[in-house]
A and B are shown apart, each in its own frame.
Chain A
Amino acid sequence: MEGNWALTKKRARLEQRARIVQMIRAFFIGREYLEVETPQRLPGNAPEAHIDAITSDNSFLHTSPELCMKRLLAAGYGKLFQICHCWRDGERGKRHLPEFTILEWYAADCDYRRLMDECEILLRTLVAQEHFTYQGETIDLSGPFERLTVAEAFEQYATLGLAEALETARFDELLTLEVEPHLGRRRPTFLIEYPSELAALARCHPERPHVAERFELYIAGLELANAFSELTDPTEQRRRFDADEAERRAAGKPPYPVPEKFLTELATMPEAAGIALGLDRLVMLLTDATIIDEVVAFSPELL
């Protein structure tokens, strides 16, 4: 009897994946980040209109370790990273798994611009060459990555400008169908300056409050990471949570309790920046895989 070929055939990529994870750990430990593990089952997640948690008894599996990581920041841990599984209900496609792996890191006294610099250094460290090839396309890492504002990206690639896209509630659709395929071609792109309506947990720019200090990193059209200069104002954070929670409930989604401990402790959180990076997608890029199934041992259908 021969082994299960669907598993056997992944060996080369799983070996590369293990090496990439080891290099990531070495990178952050070398930069004096503390590796932490936070609970994967929570009383509630940060309310987000379009991210759905999976329930587990009377709790929720975390959709990201964000709230616990920031409570540690608020308690004085200055530099933290975590590699963990997260769960998002209903997300399954060529680039999505409902259970996937996130790399998150946070630094006190940091902002999103310095995080962009750190992303560049991380990618150059992992690739160890000036470029790599993904699906026949050469991605150049030797120079600075492209920094494109959301408004510029809509201007260049979408059939509507940013303001119109927001007014007609077509932002996500145009971003997905018209903008994203152009991002991170030939060199990685940081999509920066999200409109404040889409700030999530990001701080707004001090001089230009209509834009949030949020970026997303794209390579070869693939969304790889989302980052903020963190919002540290509990009142504003509560207002945003309430708005997102109202939107969730209006859509018939299960209520989350207000994360009161997080909101209380946010008052003591220093200025900080944090980022969540899709580790499976990073492995896809670095091992030239077209679908996410190729870089994990078990996709749900193999269970």
Chain B
Amino acid sequence: MLSTSDLRKGTKLMIDGEPHVIAQFDFSKPGKGQALYKCKLRNMITGALFDRTYRSGESFEPAALHESDMQYLYQDESGYVFMDQKSYEQTTLAAEALGDQKYFLVDNMEVKILMFGERGIGITLPNFVNLRVSQSDPWVKGDTAAGNNKPATVESGYTLQVPSFVEQGSLIQIDTRTGEYVTRVKE
């Protein structure tokens, strides 16, 4: 069983027999009072989102899921298609099941697909992915203060904050767990 201290963004719980993932999480607590754990949960089968608030002392059943090693093949109108590395069977995940993770898929990327029974319902990506900046405003001369950042969009359509010295066309590393910029990649 899990306790409230295990609750965080990404924790997977079984609720009414169906797997759910915490999509948004906030801990709040009056200094001297009891903690509240505010969760936005996503049903991993239906995609339905709802809010639930838990209190210290509650316990949770972890979601009964297993992972299969798969390779990302392509996207079509049905969704994102992956192939099992052992059985060569294909599994399709809808865009909603991937959320922002869809922006970090690269052709032939090796990923882990979360299976609920026979059904693919989620994905674990490599921690880091390299993507090329397709659009970002040029560096403004004189803007040398360390710590300044600006928005950039990468080839997959994902927008994030990058340091001002990152130029359009640069290859950058992104942490897929947080969606944040890590570093420029030397080519």
A associates with B: yes
Where the two chains meet, the residues of A that have a C-beta atom closer than 8 Å to any C-beta of B are: 1-2, 5-6, 8-12, 48, 50-51, 90-96, 171-173, 175-177, 180, 198, 200, 216, 223, 226, 251, 276, 278
User: Is B119 interfacial (CB 8 A cutoff)?
Assistant: no
**Given A90-B5, A91-B27, A92-B27, A9 and B33 touching (CB < 8 A)?**
no
**Given A93-B27, A94-B26, A175 and B184 touching (CB < 8 A)?**
no
Contact B163 A226 (CB under 8 A): no
Contact B147 A8 (CB under 8 A): yes
Residues of chain A lying within 8 A (CB to CB) of residue B34: 50, 172-173
**Given A5-B163, A12-B147, A251-B57, A171 and B28 touching (CB < 8 A)?**
no
Q: Is chain A's interface secondary structure helix, strand, loop, or mixed overall?
A: mixed
Other-chain contact of B183, A5, A11, A91, A198 (Cβ < 8 Å): A5
**A235 and B176 alpha carbons, distance in the complex (Å):** 56
Residues of chain A lying within 8 A (CB to CB) of residue B53: 173, 177
Contact A5 B5 (CB under 8 A): no
- Across chains A and B, which 3 residue pairs bring their CB atoms closest together, nearest first? A93-B27, A172-B33, A11-B147
Residues of chain B lying within 8 A (CB to CB) of residue A51: 31-32
Interface size classification for chain B: 20 to 34
B30 to chain A, nearest CB (A): 6
**A95 and B26 alpha carbons, distance in the complex (Å):** 9
User: Is B146 interfacial (CB 8 A cutoff)?
Assistant: yes
Residues of chain A lying within 8 A (CB to CB) of residue B30: 172, 175-176, 180, 216, 223
Contact A91 B33 (CB under 8 A): no
Residues of chain A lying within 8 A (CB to CB) of residue B28: 93, 95-96, 176
Residues 158-180 of B, flagged 1 when their CB comes within 8 A of A and 0 if not, give 00000100000000000000001
Residue of B nearest to A96 (CB): B27
**A1 and B34 alpha carbons, distance in the complex (Å):** 46
User: Is B2 interfacial (CB 8 A cutoff)?
Assistant: no
Residues 57-98 of B, flagged 1 when their CB comes within 8 A of A and 0 if not, give 100000000000000000000000000000000000000000
**Given A50-B29, A50-B34, A172-B30, A2 and B147 touching (CB < 8 A)?**
no
Other-chain contact of A93, B26, B33, B183 (Cβ < 8 Å): B26
A150 to chain B, nearest CB (A): 11
Residues of chain A lying within 8 A (CB to CB) of residue B29: 50, 91, 93, 96, 172, 176
Q: Which residue, A48, A176, A177, has most C-beta atoms of chain B within 10 A?
A: A176
B92 to chain A, nearest CB (A): 33
Contact A5 B146 (CB under 8 A): no
Residue of B nearest to A64 (CB): B31
Residues of chain A lying within 8 A (CB to CB) of residue B149: 9
Contact A2 B32 (CB under 8 A): no
Residue of A nearest to B28 (CB): A176
B51 to chain A, nearest CB (A): 11
User: Is B14 interfacial (CB 8 A cutoff)?
Assistant: no
Residues of chain B lying within 8 A (CB to CB) of residue A95: 28
A48 to chain B, nearest CB (A): 6
**A93 and B147 alpha carbons, distance in the complex (Å):** 24
Residues of chain A lying within 8 A (CB to CB) of residue B33: 50, 171-172, 175-176
